[in-house]
Amino acid sequence: MSKIKIAYSPCPNDTFVFDAWAHGRVPGAPRLDVTFADIDVTNGMAERGEFDVLKVSYAVLPYVLDEYALLPCGGALGRGCGPLVLTRAPGTDLSRATVAVPGERSTAYLLFRLWAADVLPDGVGRVVVLPFHEIMPAVRDGKVDAGLVIHEARFTYPEYGLHCLADMGEHWETTTGLPIPLGAIIARRSLGPELLGLLAESARRSVRMAWDDPEASRPYVMEHAQEMDPAVADQHIGLYVNEFTADLGEAGYSAVRGLLTRAAAEGLVPPLGREALSFV
């Protein structure tokens, strides 16, 4: 079998999940040809039909599910792990603000738009897109008034002297009772049911192997963690790699369906077909 072309981010949760598989330690798993790219880049790759398997934002699923299937494992959902809106000072009026976001097709931005529709009657002043690692410095330096942040920024924003204006995940959980869908693993439907099933099982076994021996993945995680403090990398993994990573389960699928159905009702994404989330 030829190598499976896969693209995922260099973030600690992804390298932790895929370490065993990428290094040939998952028995019977297809070999991988790995490309690293930030998730806003992989979202575009998915929309262009590139790669066999990708880590993408759940927000991009309505645009790609004709060609790709959602795998029931390997992604990022959870509780207490949603995007934050950060400002230099408490109480910033977002109706007059410039807000930096990490991608127009990011789940973070979709959650932000749903939050804004509920709590900001005057809307948001202006939205600009920046790579996520540039957002906190831009807020700190006054280049933008507020920033929507993800990943390890949940742990590090006080170091920039910033304040949390609102927690998108907290709003989502309070209004829906569901976990927060963030990143999905998708694979080409044209690979066929048998290979899709093997890919899902390989991802599931890879994450379980990482849990069984966390130290085995540490070199791979830190190699790609962009000089991140090891303690922050561990916090990142602990927050974003959880039971939903091993299996979406009923609650996970309900969260994904709830997010995309609610967003479609607001006219933010195309509606999902009835069987769009079904796997093989």
Q: Is 171 labeled as catalytic in the residue annotation?
A: no
CA distance 116 to 110: 10
Annotated binding site for substrate: 55-57, 107-108
Catalytic, out of 151, 163, 171, 236: 151
3-class SS at 203?
helix
Q: What are the distances in angstroms from CA 34 to CA 22, 70, 151, 203?
A: 7, 19, 21, 14
**Positive or negative: CA dihedral 255, 259, 265, 266:** positive
SS3 assignment, position 53: strand
- In Å, how far are 54, 138, 160 from 92, measured between CA atoms? 37, 15, 17
Contact indicator for 132, 148 with CB cutoff of 8 Å: no
Cα-to-chain-centroid distance, residue 171: 17
- SS3 label, residue 188: strand
Retrieve residue 12's tokens: 């600690």
Annotated binding-site ranges: 55-57, 107-108
Residues 144, 98: contact at Cβ < 8 Å? yes
Catalytic positions are 151
